Amino acid sequence: MIFLTVGTQFPFDRLLKAVDDALAEVSFGEEIFAQTGESSYVPRNFKVTPFIDRGSFDKYISQASSVISHAGMGTIAAVLGYGKPMLVMPRQRKYGEVVNDHQLAIARKLEMSGHILVAYESRDLAGKMNQLKTFIPCERNSQHQAVADRIARFLVEISNKQAAK
């Protein structure tokens, strides 16, 4: 199963239609299941559900062979955490999908470092879906502990200053 998700906050019909159109041309030999949020596009070639809870979201990712999604950081973090192959389509400002192009910027970076595949435009999607079948993402080492430690040190300074007052 390929898990397709667009997040919960905004619609993303461009991605749903691109995947649907790609499936009309080529068979990928696998079923697609989609979480579509506020989107209005009704696909012909796969099943959808608007919202799923957190537990099911994690379950779908862990059971999927690969994931296709918007370039939302919540989803990317979850998928990288499971080490699954991932193809993202960034939401773009020029299409009125977001207020700035942060999804485009992070998608480019993670594509360059070999962590994800990216389809910037609808016409790229079918080709990238083909690559996704054999794509093996580079392992990612998060430095979240170093950042947490920096915050902990700052909080010690604050509480020492308060105690000195």
Partner 1 sequence: MPKCVKICLVASAGGHLTQLLRLESGWNGHSTFCVTTSNVVQEKLQKYRKVHVVGECNRQHLLKVLLVSIRCIRIILKERPDVIISTGAAVGCIMCFLGKVTGAKIVWVDSITNVNKLSLSGRLVWHIADLFLSQWQQLAEQYKNIEYAGKII
Residue-by-residue DSSP string for 14-46: HHHHHHHHHHHH---SS-EEEE-TT-----SSS
Please name which of 98, 61, 109 lies closest in space to residue 69, comparing C-alpha atoms.
61
Residue among 29, 54, 94, 139 that touches partner 1 (CB under 8 A): 54
Q: Quick one: 156 exposed, middle or buried, by C-beta within 10 A (0-12, 13-18, 19+)?
A: exposed
In sequence order, which residues have a C-beta less than 8 Å from that of residue 13 and are 6 or more positions away? 39, 40, 41
As measured in angstroms, the least distance from the Cβ of 44 to partner 1 is 28
As measured in angstroms, the least distance from the Cβ of 49 to partner 1 is 14
Applying CB under 8 A, does 48 fall inside the site for partner 1?
no
Residue among 22, 76, 88, 117 that touches partner 1 (CB under 8 A): 76
Applying CB under 8 A, does 138 fall inside the site for partner 1?
no
Task: Please report, as ranges, the residues that interact with partner 1 according to CB under 8 A.
Answer: 7-9, 51, 53-55, 72-78, 80, 99-100, 102-103, 105-106, 108-109, 140, 142-152, 154-156, 158-160, 162-163
